């Protein structure tokens, strides 16, 4: 994204789908990476509740809190001025009541500067999405493997393999579009089903483990950079091995400190 490029807007996402331009999305949790990702022409920065897995070593996303999400979203927003910033609403911040969902989503936008929120679920969430959109809060949906429901789903496994579930997911996607969602993340779906859902909608789909038929793709930043070395699902492509680079750099630093090579005269003040 060039320095003089105008900031992306939420309606641009649908326009990008109509024009056949694939949407590039990555998770992001801080200002430093936000600057780098924006400079690398990433369209959407997703402040995912995956931060508690990536940054805090938790087993699931369920422990993320609203205050955590707002803190990290504000950091990302300060680092990126042209990319869109969407924020996951954490578990139980939008499921209890529509009123609570409005209040919590409003806090996210008000306190972080983000452009919209993302929430998980199909038709049962349509009323909530409509209420948020009616109040000027853009919403991304999320279907397929929904991490906040990982226990109910029996683990992190591909969804929609049988015809009944596939039909339900397509109906869910249409319901979210009708409710006003500006896009839908499709996670861990058979490629043919994700393509079918994408073709049925006018709003864009963004896939993760859902094949090439989606209108865009998202990955967890630390996974694709090789910083989460123990995570190797089939859908993941690593674009760097920064875990190796970090270890090499730190070993070099430690060696210089222990052998008196750092700091040198050039790093010292008279």
In a domain, 257, yes or no: no
In a domain, 135, yes or no: yes
Query: pLDDT per residue over 75-97, tens digit each?
Result: 999 999 999 999 999 999 999 99
Query: What's the pLDDT score for residue 234?
Result: 96
In a domain, 252, yes or no: no
Whether residue 203 is preceded by a cis peptide bond, meaning omega within 30 degrees of 0, is: no
Question: Residue 116, Cα to own-chain centre: how many angstroms?
Answer: 12
pTM of the complete model: 0.96
In a domain, 189, yes or no: yes
Query: What's the pLDDT score for residue 2?
Result: 52
| Residues of the chain with confidence (pLDDT) below 50 | none
Whether 187 is catalytic: yes
Query: What's the pLDDT score for residue 5?
Result: 80
In a domain, 268, yes or no: no
SS3 letters across the chain: CCCCCCCCCHHHHHHHHHHCCCEEEEECCCHHHHHHHHHCCCCEEEECCCHHHHCCCCCCCCCCCHHHHHHHHHHHHHHCCCCEEEEECCCCCCCCCHHHHHHHHHHHHHHHCCCEEECCCCHHHHHHHHHHHHCCCCEEEEEECCHHHHHHHCCCCCCCCCHHHHHHHHHHHHHHHHHCCCEEEEECCCHHHHHHHHHHCCCCEEEECCCCCCCEEEECHHHHCCCCCCCCCCCCCCCCCHHHHHHHHHHHHHHHHHCCCCCCHHHCCC
Output the domain CATH number for residue 43.
3.20.20.60
Query: What's the pLDDT score for residue 3?
Result: 53
Question: Which candidate in 38, 120, 177, 187 is catalytic?
Answer: 187
Residue 198 is part of which domain span? 10-224
In a domain, 246, yes or no: no
Please state the domain count of the chain. Answer: 1
In a domain, 110, yes or no: yes
In a domain, 270, yes or no: no
Query: pLDDT per residue over 60-80, tens digit each?
Result: 999 999 999 999 999 999 999
Residue 201 in contact with residue 174, Cβ under 8 Å? yes
């Amino acid at each position: 994204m060039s320095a003089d490029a105008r900031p992306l807007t939420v309606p641009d996402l649908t326009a990008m789908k109509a024009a056949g331009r694939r949407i590039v999305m990555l998770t992001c949790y801080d200002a430093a990476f936000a600057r780098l990702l924006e400079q690398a022409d990433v369209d959407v920065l997703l402040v995912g509740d995956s931060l508690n897995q990536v940054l805090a070593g938790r087993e699931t996303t369920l422990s993320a809190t609203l205050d955590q999400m707002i803190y990290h979203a504000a950091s990302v927003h300060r680092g990126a001025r042209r990319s869109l910033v969407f924020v996951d609403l954490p578990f139980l911040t939008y499921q209890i009541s529509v009123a609570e969902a409005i209040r919590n989503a409003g806090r996210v936008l008000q306190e972080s500067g983000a452009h919209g929120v993302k929430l998980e679920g199909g038709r049962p969430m349509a009323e909530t999405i409509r209420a948020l959109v009616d109040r000027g809060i853009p919403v991304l949906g999320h279907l397929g493997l929904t991490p906040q429901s990982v226990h109910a789903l029996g683990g992190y496994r591909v969804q929609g393999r049988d015809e009944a579930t596939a039909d339900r997911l397509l109906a869910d996607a249409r319901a979210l579009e009708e409710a006003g969602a500006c896009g839908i993340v499709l996670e861990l779906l058979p490629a043919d089903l994700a393509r079918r859902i994408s073709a049925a909608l006018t709003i864009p789909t963004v896939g993760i483990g859902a094949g090439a038929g989606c209108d865009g793709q998202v990955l967890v930043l630390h996974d694709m950079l090789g910083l989460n070395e123990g995570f190797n699902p089939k859908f993941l492509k690593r674009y760097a091995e920064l875990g190796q680079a970090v270890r090499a750099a730190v070993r070099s630093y430690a060696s210089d400190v222990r052998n008196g090579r750092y700091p040198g005269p050039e790093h010292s003040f008279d």
